[in-house]
Amino acid sequence: MVQGRKMKMILLLILQIVMAATAANVTYDHRALVIDGKRKVLISGSIHYPRSTPEMWPDLIQKSKDGGLDVIETYVFWSGHEPEKNKYNFEGRYDLVKFVKLVEEAGLYVHLRIGPYVCAEWNYGGFPVWLHFVPGIKFRTDNEPFKEEMQRFTTKIVDLMKQEKLYASQGGPIILSQIENEYGNINSAYGTAAKSYIKWSASMALSLDTGVPWNMCQQADAPDPMINTCNGFYCDQFTPNSNNKPKMWTENWSGWFLGFGDPSPYRPVEDLAFAVARFYQRGGTFQNYYMYHGGTNFDRTSGGPLISTSYDYDAPIDEYGLLRQPKWGHLRDLHKAIKLCEDALIATDPTITSLGSNLEAAVYKTSSGSCAAFLANVGTKSDATVTFNGKSYHLPAWSVSILPDCKNVAFNTAKINSATESTAFTRQSLKPDGGSSAELGSQWSYIKEPTGISKSDAFLKPGLLEQINTTADKSDYLWYSLRMDIKGDETFLDEGSKAVLHIESLGQVVYAFINGKLAGSGHGKQKISLDIPINLVAGKNTIDLLSVTVGLANYGAFFDLVGAGITGPVTLKSAKGGSSIDLASQQWTYQVGLKGEDSGLATVESSEWVSKSPLPTKQPLIWYKTTFDAPSGSEPVAIDFTGTGKGIAWVNGQSIGRYWPTSIAGNGGCTDSCDYRGSYRANKCLKNCGKPSQTLYHVPRSWLKPSGNTLVLFEEMGGDPTQISFGTKQTGSNLCLMVSQSHPPPVDTWTSDSKISNRNITRPVLSLKCPVSTQVISSIKFASFGTPQGTCGSFTHGHCNSSRSLSLVQKACIGSRSCNIEVSTRVFGEPCRGVVKSLAVEASCS
Ligand code: GAL
C-alpha cells in the first residue's frame, strides 16, 4: 500500500519533470517573441479551420511547413462553436482542439486569435446572432451584458485549450493569443466607453492566465503588457506603443476577398514578398500571411454583405488546397533567406542608411561577427545599381535584396526562381456512365416551394419588420406578404397603364411576386431601390416579397445594427403619376424561412419529390435533387453551377454554401498584367471583369462516396440544373520560368553553416520540377537563352537567342522529374555581348 503510494508519487514527480522540460516559456522584449530565453524570427500564416475539412488539415499544415512557416494563425469562430446559447459544438470542421494538435504534431506553433469578434468576412463578424437578443446588450463597448458574454466565451476557449495542455506554457503549441480585433480602427465611434472597454478586454484576457503573451491588433492604445500589432498591406513603418514590445504584423493580406458581383482580386507575389522583406528590413520579427490558405465559406458562414462562397484570397495555397505557384515557392525562398539572417536579426536593431534617392540599406551586425543586410529600392519606376560595402548590386524598382552575410544576395523579391504551375479544372459529367449532362433531366426530381405564406408559424404585424430581428438569421429567407383589394375604379387599373410597385430594402436580394408570378427582383449591399411595373386585377391581389440575406455584415462600427430586409418605403404608384398608396404601414404577414427548410429537404428523405418529366426549369422557387457518382480520382472536386441562378446547395446533407453564378462582376478595373511596382490596394489588381464572380464551388472529397451521392439545391431565381457539371482541380502539366543572369543563385545553395562562403554555385540556375511525383518532363515547348519576351504560355524569342537553347534544355530535362540549368554563357555560349540575358523555358510534364 505504502509502496504503491510511493511509486505513484515518484511517477508524478517524473511526469512533472517531463512536463517542465517540454513546457516553453514565452515572453517578449523590444526585438522579438522570446521562447525559452531565445528571441525568434517567426513566419506565420492564417488557416481558418472551418474553411476546410479535418481531412484537409494535415496536408494544408504540411504544405505550410514546407513553405517555411513556423506558426499557424487562426481565429476562433464563436458562431460555429456556440450556435445556440450554451450549446457548444467542437465537432468536425469546428474541432479546434484537433486542429491545434495537428499543428503541434507538425512541429509548428499556433497563434490563437480568440476575438471573440473576428471580422474575417464571417457571418456577423463571428458573433452568434443570438447574442443580439441578449437584453440590454451593446456590442464591443463597455456594456455589462456584452462583457459577460465575451468573458464567458473567451474563458470557455482558454479553459478548453488549458485542459488539453495546448498553451506553450503547458508544453503545447500556442505561443500567443489575441483578444478583440482591430477595435482601434473604429473605436472613435464608441466614444469614451471605448477606452474602458479596451482596458477591460486586456485585463479580462490577462486574468485567464494562459502563461503566454496576448496581442491586440490595430490597437495603438493597447494597455501593457498587450502587444499592439499591425494589419495591412505594408507594415514596415509601424512601431509598437512601447519600446519593450516587438514589432509584429498579424495580417499581411496575401490578396483580398471576393464579393458576389465583384471581379477577383489578386496580389502579385513580387509585391507581397517586397512588403515582407521591408518589414524584416525595418526591425520586424513576426509576420503573418492573412490568408496562407483562405478556403471556402461553407454553409451560411460567409460574412457580408455579399461575400462570396469562395474565400480563396489569392493565397499561397489555393481554395482547394493546391499550391499556387510561383507564389508559394517564391515566398518559401524568401522565408529561407530571412531565416539565414536570424542570428543577426534577433541580436540588434538595424542600422538604416540611404544609398540614394529611394534606396535604403539596413544592416544588422552583431558583436560576434554576424552580419545581415537588406537593400531596398522603394522607387516605383527605375531599377538601380547601388554600391554597398564596395560591391555593386542590381536592385529592380520596388524590390529588396537580402544578403545573409552582408555580401552575397540570397534573394531578391522581384526575381523569381520558382516556376509558374498552372492549375486547371477538368470537366466531368454528373452521370455515372459519362453521358452528356444535357441528358440528365430525367435523373432530377423537384419540389416547388410555395410562393408566399405556406407555413403555420406565419404571423401578422402592422408595418415592415427589419429582417435580422425577425429571422434571428435562422434562414436567409423572409417572406413579406400583403393581400389587398383593388376596386375597379382605381387608377391602377387604367387601361394600358400599369401600376408601379416601389420597394426599398436594406438588402441583399428582393424578389417581388404579384398574384403568384415573379414580377421583378433586385439586389444590393445595403440599399435596394426598385420600381417594378405590375399588373393588378380588380378584387383581391397578393403582393409577396421574398427578402434574402447574403451574409450578415462583419465590419465597421455598429455593424451589428445595420440591419437587412425590406424596411421601406413600399408604395404603389400609378404609372401615369398621380396617386400613390403607402403599403409600408399596412398589415403584413411574415414567414421566416422556407417550407422546404422546415421539412429538411436538404438532409432528410421526403416522399414529396416529383420525378415526372418535364423537369420545370427557369422558374423561381424550386428545390431540385439528383444523385451522382463521385468524379474519379482523388483530386479536389468542384461543382460548376453555370446554368443555375442563385440559391443554396447541399451534398449528402452538407451545405456547400450559397451559389450565385448569375452574379456578374462589373466591367471596370481589370488587368491581366498588373504592375507590382507601387503601393498595392485591394482594387489594384483585378481579373474576371464582366464574368460571373463565382461559378465553381468546392465539394470536399471527404463528403463524397464513390457512388450514390445526393445533390440538393434550392433555386431561388430560376435556372436549369441539368446544366450543372462537375470538375476536378488538377495541378496542370505546364511549367514556366524565366531566370536572368542577374538573378541570385537558388537560395537552397545556402546552408546556415556555409553562409559566409564555400558556396560552389555562384550563378543563377533555372530549376524545374514536375509537381506530381509520378510525372517526368516530357517536352520543352519553349526555350530561349537571350532576350526572350512575354509571360508563361506566350513566350517569344527576342532579337538575341542562343541557337543551343532548345537542345540544351531538352537534354537536361526530358525524361526527368526535375532539372537544373545554369543560366550563363558558360552553358549557352554568347549570343549577344553587353546585354543581360535570360533563360525562359516552358515545359510540360506527363
Ligand atoms: C481585417 C480584419 C480581418 C479581415 C480582413 C480583410 O480588417 O481584421 O478579419 O476581415 O480585414 O480580409
**What letter does residue 742 receive in the DSSP assignment?**
T
pLDDT tens by residue, 761-808 = 689 999 999 999 999 999 999 999 999 999 888 999 999 999 999 999
Give the pLDDT of residue 521. Answer: 98
Does ligand 1 have an atom closer than 6 angstroms to the CB of 289?
A: no
Cα Rg of the chain (Å, integer): 30
Does ligand 1 have an atom closer than 6 angstroms to the CB of 121?
A: yes
**Residue spans of beta strands (DSSP E) within 366-451:** 371-377, 384-388, 391-395, 399-403, 411-412, 420-428, 445-448
Pocket test for ligand 1, best of 74, 219, 267, 290 (most atoms within 8 A of CB): 290
- Could you tell me the three cell numbers for 216? 491586440
Side chain identity, residue 165:
K
Asked if the model's pLDDT at residue 167 lies above 70, the reply is: yes
Give the pLDDT of residue 497. Answer: 63
Give the pLDDT of residue 580. Answer: 86
Does ligand 1 have an atom closer than 6 angstroms to the CB of 74?
A: no
pLDDT tens by residue, 738-756 = 999 999 999 999 976 655 4
Asked if the model's pLDDT at residue 512 lies above 90, the reply is: yes
Q: What residue's CA is closest to ligand 1, atom 3?
A: 120
Say how many Å lie between the CA of residue 313 and the centre of ligand 1: 11
Q: What residue's CA is closest to ligand 1, atom 11?
A: 120
Burial 45-65 (b: 16+ CB within 10 A, else e): bbbbbbbbbbebbeebbebbb
pLDDT tens by residue, 319-361 = 999 999 999 999 999 999 999 999 999 999 999 999 999 999 9
Give the pLDDT of residue 9. Answer: 67
Give the pLDDT of residue 823. Answer: 97
- Could you tell me the three cell numbers for 84? 445556440
DSSP 3-state percent helix, strand, coil across the chain (nearest 5)? 20, 35, 45
Range scoring the smallest mean pLDDT among 262-271, 628-637, 781-790 = 628-637
Phi and psi torsions of 483, nearest 5°: -110, 135
More confident residue, 127 or 427: 127
Average pLDDT of the segment spanning 440-467:
92
Active site residue 121: no
pLDDT tens by residue, 201-246 = 999 999 999 999 999 999 999 999 999 999 999 999 999 999 999 9
As a whole number, the mean pLDDT across the chain is 94
Q: Which of 73, 182, 360, 635 is catalytic?
A: 182
Active site residue 251: yes
pLDDT tens by residue, 82-100 = 999 999 999 999 999 999 9
Q: What band does 13 get if pLDDT is binned at 50, 70 and 90?
A: low
309 within 8 A of 697, measured Cβ to Cβ: yes
Say how many Å lie between the CA of residue 33 and the centre of ligand 1: 23
Report DSSP letters for 70-102, one per residue. SEEEEE--HHHH-SBTTB---SGGG-HHHHHHH
pLDDT tens by residue, 35-86 = 999 999 999 999 999 999 999 999 999 999 999 999 999 999 999 999 999 9
Give the pLDDT of residue 433. Answer: 45
**Cα–Cα distance measured from residue 76 to residue 95, given in angstroms and rounded to the nearest whole number:** 11
Say how many Å lie between the CA of residue 80 and the centre of ligand 1: 18
pLDDT tens by residue, 529-572 = 999 999 999 899 999 999 999 999 999 999 999 999 999 999 99
Give the pLDDT of residue 437. Answer: 44
pLDDT tens by residue, 634-672 = 999 999 999 999 999 999 999 999 999 999 999 989 987
Sign of CA dihedral 425, 431, 436, 438: negative
> Cβ contacts of residue 719 below 8 Å, gap of 6+?
617, 618, 643, 644, 645, 662
pTM above 0.85, yes or no: yes
Helices marked H in 326-425 — which ranges? 327-340, 342-347
**CB atoms near residue 232 (< 10 Å):** 17
Exposed (0-12), middle (13-18) or buried (19+): which is 463, by Cβ within 10 Å?
Answer: exposed
Give the pLDDT of residue 744. Answer: 97
- Could you tell me the three cell numbers for 586? 399596412
